[in-house]
Amino acid sequence: MENTLYNSLFFIAFIFYSLSAMKRILAIISTILTCSLASAQSVDVYHSGILSSYSADELEDIAFEHEATGSTVSIHKAGEEPLRITTDNVAGIHFSDRPVDTCTKYADGVPAQVVFSCIEVNNTNPLQHLNFHLRKSNKNLFDAVILFSSNINFSKKEDVVYIHNNENVQPVLNNWEHYIKPLKERGIKVLLSLLGNHDGSGLANLDEQRAKLFAQAIADTLDKYDLDGVFFDDEYSEYNKGLSGQGYQGFLASPSYEAASRLAYETKQAIGDKWLVLYKYGYYNMAVSIDGKKPGDYVDYVLTDYNQSAAGFKTQYPGVDDRQIGCYSVNINGYYNKKNIKNLRTGKYGAFMIYNLDQTAYDFSYSKQMTLEDFSDYLFDDELEVTETYYYKDWKTIDELKEPVR
């Protein structure tokens, strides 16, 4: 009886001591963070995907409230990389300097779809994506912008497969600080698209050696312009045109799914953590294992053609899971099925692509904006807010910005 009473008193004392110690630690943390946030008007706290803003002097109470439940809180000053505060147990807190994902949207308690916008750079300024955000979560509507498009081409003179940027793509890349940096600062990834360009080279007819060389060229380009990934679209190549019987090495007699998969695999090896995204079309309508790795191991996302479902995906892309699948893509100027968009959510597929967005189009505000509002509602239970800052195509397509003729 005495031992039981003694143990109970000891346990109560330990609890009070632990809580007191935790409050002291939190007070120290609060002081440190409040000092570092002295110039900030508010503190943004991301918890379970929800954003709340608090004044700096509320920090200690907020941190204590969340840490007492053993949860994770992210605290950062606007425009700076967040800190993550975690607790191993009720009596201890430690810091981690890992960046916290402040962009992921949630629906039904799980991460919702990654929304890609594939824009025609010939007509459209990518900065327009800064204008679309969700009211309740305060997240970006668009997670990634695909610059459509650079091309794969072959130089007979130099005997090299290379990336060609036309007179619209090149100025956007050259002026990275103006056109790309603001998107990345808002947490929006920027990807370069690669498309065939009416010559004999393509994404699906390179042998292993040429695939490795071109994959490295892609990696070098992404690094040069600080881009977040690449998007492969197997269209508009005229496979082996002008190559057959000309003595050029490194091209297969016929394009194939295996060659397309080889290039995808080698590209992923070269670009590492950056995204490899495939458009499920042409010789990327399916993919095969390369060097013992299934497509699900080397592809980040696969996006379908317009209004196409995920039927057959697991057979055509072995190893992919639902989070890597983006189905029911929509051309903003065309038809979409409301049921399909809702199926994206119920099926818990990981991605969705919108093509040809242009906020400066004459019918945007009374037609296409309504479509985006529907998507925001169906996918995220949220309301779209649109800023009417119009970003027009404002770069000069002068000869000096064109790549040299090869």
Sequence-distant (6+) residues with CB within 8 A of 363 are none
332-338 long-range contacts (CB < 8 A, ≥24 apart) are 332/356, 332/357, 332/358, 332/368, 332/371, 333/368, 334/306, 335/307, 336/307, 336/371, 337/307, 338/374, 338/378
Write down the mean pLDDT value for the chain.
81
How do strand 189-195 and strand 144-155 relate by DSSP bridges? parallel
- What pLDDT was estimated at residue 7? 55
How far is residue 157's CA from residue 159's CA, in Å, rounded to a whole number? 6
Whether the CB-CB separation of 302 and 315 falls below 8 Å is answered with: no
DSSP secondary structure letter of residue 136: T
pLDDT-based confidence at residue 85 (cuts at 50, 70, 90): very low
Q: What are phi and psi of 17, to 5 degrees?
A: -65, -45
Give the pLDDT confidence of 248-265 residue by residue, as tens digits.
999 999 999 999 999 999
Whether the CB-CB separation of 203 and 196 falls below 8 Å is answered with: yes
Cα angle, residue 245 at apex, residues 243 and 251 outer, rounded to 5°: 45
How do strand 43-47 and strand 92-96 relate by DSSP bridges? unpaired
pLDDT-based confidence at residue 330 (cuts at 50, 70, 90): very high
Catalytic residue among 235, 238, 258, 403: 235
Number of Cβ within 10 Å of residue 337's Cβ equals 11
Report how far apart, in Å, the C-alpha atoms of 376 and of each of 191, 236, 266, 369, 386 are.
22, 33, 36, 11, 12
DSSP secondary structure letter of residue 225: T
291-306 core/surface letters (b: 16 or more CB in 10 A; e: else): eeeebbebbbbbbbbe
State the span(s) of the chain assigned CATH 3.20.20.80.
106-401
Q: Among 63, 180, 110, 142, which residue's Cα sits nearest to residue 376?
A: 142
Whether the CB-CB separation of 395 and 172 falls below 8 Å is answered with: yes
Q: What are phi and psi of 159, to 5 degrees?
A: 50, 50
How far is residue 77's CA from residue 85's CA, in Å, rounded to a whole number? 14
How far is residue 39's CA from residue 37's CA, in Å, rounded to a whole number? 5
Q: Among 353, 315, 324, which residue's Cα sits nearest to residue 118?
A: 353
Give me the residue label for tokens 């995920």: 310
- What pLDDT was estimated at residue 397? 57
Indicate the CATH number for domain 106-401: 3.20.20.80
Question: Is 235 in the active site?
Answer: yes
Helix (H, G, I), strand (E, B) or coil at 365: helix
pLDDT-based confidence at residue 103 (cuts at 50, 70, 90): confident
Give the pLDDT confidence of 110-140 residue by residue, as tens digits.
899 999 999 999 999 999 999 999 999 889 9
Give me the residue label for tokens 């590209």: 267
Give me the residue label for tokens 């100025």: 171
- What pLDDT was estimated at residue 27? 42
Q: What are phi and psi of 233, to 5 degrees?
A: -130, 110
Whether the CB-CB separation of 308 and 332 falls below 8 Å is answered with: no
- What pLDDT was estimated at residue 244? 81
Whether the CB-CB separation of 3 and 59 falls below 8 Å is answered with: no
- What pLDDT was estimated at residue 396? 77
Give the pLDDT confidence of 263-300 residue by residue, as tens digits.
999 999 999 999 999 999 999 999 999 999 999 999 99
Question: How many Å is the Cα radius of gyration of the chain?
Answer: 25
Cis bond upstream, residue 149 (ω within 30)? yes
How do strand 83-89 and strand 114-120 relate by DSSP bridges? unpaired
Give me the residue label for tokens 């955000």: 133
Task: Give the sign of the dihedral formed by CA 223, CA 226, CA 230, CA 231.
Answer: negative
Whether the CB-CB separation of 216 and 160 falls below 8 Å is answered with: no
This prediction's pTM: 0.77
Burial (CB < 10 A; 0-12, 13-18, 19+), residue 45, is buried
